Amino acid sequence: MKTKSITVVALTFGEIVASVWTLQAGPASPVTTQRPWIRMAQSYGNGNGNGNGNIGNNNGSTNGNYNIGSGNGNGNGNGNGAPQTNGNLGYMNGGTGNIGAFNGLGNSSSTSGNNNAGAFNGNLNGGTNNGNSNVGSFNGNLNGIGNTGIGNGSNNGNGNIGALNGNLNGSFNH
């Protein structure tokens, strides 16, 4: 569904009068009785409707600045960073159901690195069911790596809250 942004400018009589400055050109001289006038009007209707509806990082920034005149720099940088695939929300997430940034990346199994909230959770896990449902930062990483054989390095680094929890577990088993 497309949305349309409309800019409405309503000025009172006082604002209109205040926005027009009349300046005399040249220095005052008792000899000259008639002088030309310079009118300078302020700009209006610039820089509206920018940077709205963005999800993630570095979207919709520095739009609609430094405009001169009327109706410039409007409606820029809106609607960027739509939700990622697999129900992820944020920036650079992998896996499924991750919210935040850099979660669920580099896992050897689709059952690892899911449903994390925060940053740098559930990454670089081997085995199965590792690095899931962590909240905070740097939780559930590097679990179940370097294993040989069947049934080694699974169900590690899950359900941690805080920072630097549930990392480097169930690894290097032969």
84-115 confidence digits (pLDDT tens): 568 788 788 888 999 988 999 999 999 999 99
Answer yes or no: do 105 and 75 share one domain. Answer: no
Which structural domain, as residue segments, surrounds residue 6? 1-82
120 and 93, same structural domain?
Answer: yes
140 close to 118: Cβ distance less than 8 angstroms: no
Q: Are 2 and 73 in the same domain?
A: yes
User: Tens digits of per-residue pLDDT, 12-26?
Assistant: 555 555 554 444 445
C-alpha distances (whole Å) from 69 to each of 46, 62, 66, 133, 135 are 8, 19, 10, 52, 49
How many domains, the chain? 2
pTM: 0.55
Does 125 share its domain with 157? yes
Tokens describing residue 127: 């085995």
- 121 and 169 in a single domain? The answer is yes
pLDDT lower than 50: segments of the chain: 20-25
| Whether residues 29 and 73 fall in one domain | yes
